[in-house]
Structure 1
Amino acid sequence: MFRLLKICLLLLMIVPMFIGCQTVDEEQYEGSGMIALHNKEFQDFKNKADGAKREVRQMEQVDRVRAVAIDNDIYVGLAVSGFDRFFLKDIRKSAQDQVKKKYKKENVHVSTDRKIEMELEDIERELHTKNMSKDQLRKKLDKVEEDMKG
């Protein structure tokens, strides 16, 4: 009985290691147009978005920042509360200038709209949890840009 228990415990420890240590096969993503999490282009997008977040987080008026980047576009959603809400236009302009200073060649889109910030948060979460094609990401961000204008 004790020996059977040892064998079961050993299997319970070894099997998850083999399951968790599987490598991702890039070939499965090539034909489907999916972005693998370790894809260099995806990492470039993520690095741009993270850099934009760092720049804007330094502003004391901003409570939360969400950012997603694709190609030459960076979309930034800001959460501003309290008295600072009276100065949303100035805060947006300042945030855009800070990101533009760091990423001169990029198109920077900044919004303080709560809906836009939530949509960007959802897109960020999907990028980290699912494999999304670049076209799917572009469609979602085009919708966000349209909402920013409308």
Structure 2
Amino acid sequence: MKTILRVIVFSLILLITAGCGTQNHSFKKPQPGQQLIQDEKQIQINTDLAEKAKKTAETVKGVKESTAVVINNEISIAIKVSGFDRLRLKPIKAEVHDKIKEFNKDYNVYITSDKKLFKQLRQIENQIRGEQDKPLIDLQKKVNKINKDMQG
């Protein structure tokens, strides 16, 4: 009799705790791909502004080469500085930042001289200019990661 009572009490406890764990959400989940399409339409890539930013960066003494991507309101720039100019890296980056910010006050400007990030940003720039085999949302995620890495 005691074991039957224990089994019943244990079963009730199990049912009560299992019942508390389920919740009925009243919101409608988006169908697969639906959210992706909405985000794709909101992403704006500005190749003209990216080209202008690249040319502006290359006017700064010490910058040998640059690459830039503009997505929404963010300008991401990577520069190549070599030789003794690397000793002035901080002032060079600051000058590039200031010159680009000067004609694009509404944009966030990210700048790096890291070789790995330069390569990644150049790949994204080439993907944007060529046939896009990757969805824009993927490119934006990559650029956001690069911008995060630029900050530290």
Which segment drifts farther, 122-131 or 101-110?
122-131
| Percent of aligned positions that are identical | 31
Following superposition, the deviation at residue 130 of structure 1 comes to 3.0
Q: TM-score, normalised by structure 2?
A: 0.68
Following superposition, the deviation at residue 89 of structure 1 comes to 0.6
Give the unaligned 5+ runs of structure 2.
1-35
Is 2:122 the counterpart of 1:128? no
Give distance in 2, aligned partners of 1:65 and 1:53: 6
Cα root mean square deviation, aligned: 2.5
1:72 corresponds to which residue? 73
Give the unaligned 5+ runs of structure 1.
1-31, 36-40
Say which SS state the counterpart of residue 79 (structure 2) adopts: strand
1:140 corresponds to which residue? 142
Is 2:126 the counterpart of 1:115? no
Number of positions where the alignment pairs a residue of Structure 1 with one of Structure 2: 116
Say which SS state the counterpart of residue 116 (structure 1) adopts: helix
Q: Which amino acid aligns with 1:92?
A: K
Give distance in 2, aligned partners of 1:106 and 1:112: 20
Which segment drifts farther, 109-118 or 71-80?
109-118
Q: Which runs of 4+ in 1 moved over 6 A?
A: none
Decide whether the 8 Å contact of 2:61 with 2:92 is kept in 1: no
Following superposition, the deviation at residue 128 of structure 1 comes to 2.2
Decide whether the 8 Å contact of 2:66 with 2:79 is kept in 1: yes
Give distance in 2, aligned partners of 1:136 and 1:47: 21
